[in-house]
A = this chain, B = another copy of it.
């Protein structure tokens, strides 16, 4: 993931060093010992120890009795103020809940993060097919419905990078040829929706649609993932697009567009 590589810039500032400690924690390694923090960040152990202590004092990290560190609740609390999670999720949740109640399947809200799709909200239930999506975690763009939507409406430079980067194969149906993916993206822009049939998980089918902010910038994607045996994109597409349009309409009322960073 984007924050896994240690930042070994020699001139790294103190703030940069403290942030690199926070960046050492990922969904795959949510708890770290000091020696691991030191190894991942490239910081000497005494420096890592001192900075981790300051992060614990503020509440950005918690230190367990066995000396392990993990992310603290205060960081979640402050992070929850991010409009791209808070505003977007608050607005999207009622629409996601409606879609869940009608389908009883996985309903996802996702945004672009580096060159991946980051899931910021999810509804699912006991009857939904199990898929490897978790709130706060990422998946590749080319093998998910939400990812294809976000990629199709992303800047050309990012599309080029993804199209000509490594397209990892997850199933026999995963699109790994740049030309095929490029044509799929044209189709997403033409139809206003993306489909993925067993391209990430065997047995799963996903349908996704873009969510726009007030500037008509695509800021997120809404996706529905169901059993490929039971569903058909033609049947579910209109429901997903309708919900995505409802979210876009509400988002357009926001005074500050979500995509409006400098």
The answer to whether A118 has its CB under 8 Å from any CB of chain B is: yes
* A14 CB to nearest B CB, Å: 4
A118: chain B residues within 8 A (beta carbon): 73, 77
Residues of B within 8 A of A31 (CB): 256
Q: A18-B18, A75-B75, A78-B25 are in contact. Are A70 and B83 (CB under 8 A)?
A: yes
Give the docked Cα–Cα distance between A262 and B68 (Å).
10
Residues 106-121 of A, flagged 1 when their CB comes within 8 A of B and 0 if not, give 0000010100001010
CB pair B73 A111 closer than 8 Å? yes
Residues of chain B within 8 A (CB-CB) of A136 are 76-77, 80-81, 86
CB distance from A259 to the nearest CB of B (A): 10
Contacting pair A79 B84 (CB below 8 A): no
- Nearest CB in chain B: distance from A80 CB, A: 3
Q: A160 on the interface (CB 8 Å rule)? A: no
Q: Assess whether A23 is interfacial by the CB under 8 Å rule.
A: yes
- Interface positions of A from 127 to 175, Cβ below 8 Å from B: 134-136
**A 5-39 contacts with B by CB, 8 A:** 13-16, 18-19, 22-23, 25-27, 30-31
For this complex, into which size category does the number of interface residues on chain A fall? 35 or more
Given contacts A31-B256, A78-B23, A261-B64, contact A55 B85 (CB under 8 A): no
A3 to chain B, nearest CB (A): 8
Asked if A238 is at the interface of the complex by the 8 Å CB criterion, the answer is no
Partner of A81, one of B14, B30, B78, B85: B30
Contact call B84/A76, Cβ cutoff below 8 A: yes
CA distance in complex: A15, B65 (Å): 24
Chain B residue at minimal CB-CB distance from A81: B71
Chain B residue with Cβ nearest A52: B15
- Would you call A25 and B81 a contact (CB within 8 A)? yes
Please tell me if the beta carbons of B73 and A85 are within 8 angstroms of each other in the complex: yes
Any B CB within 8 A of the CB of A179: no
Minimum distance in angstroms from A85 CB to a CB of chain B: 4
For residue A21, which residue of chain B has the nearest CB? B15
Instruction: Say yes or no for A46: interface residue by CB 8 A criterion.
Output: no
A62 to B83, CA, bound (A): 10
> Closest CB of chain B to A37's CB: distance in Å?
14
A-B contact pairs, 22 of them (CB 8 A): A3-B78, A13-B14, A14-B14, A14-B18, A15-B15, A15-B55, A19-B54, A19-B55, A19-B60, A22-B78, A23-B58, A25-B78, A27-B81, A30-B81, A30-B86, A64-B260, A70-B83, A75-B82, A76-B84, A76-B120, A79-B79, A79-B80
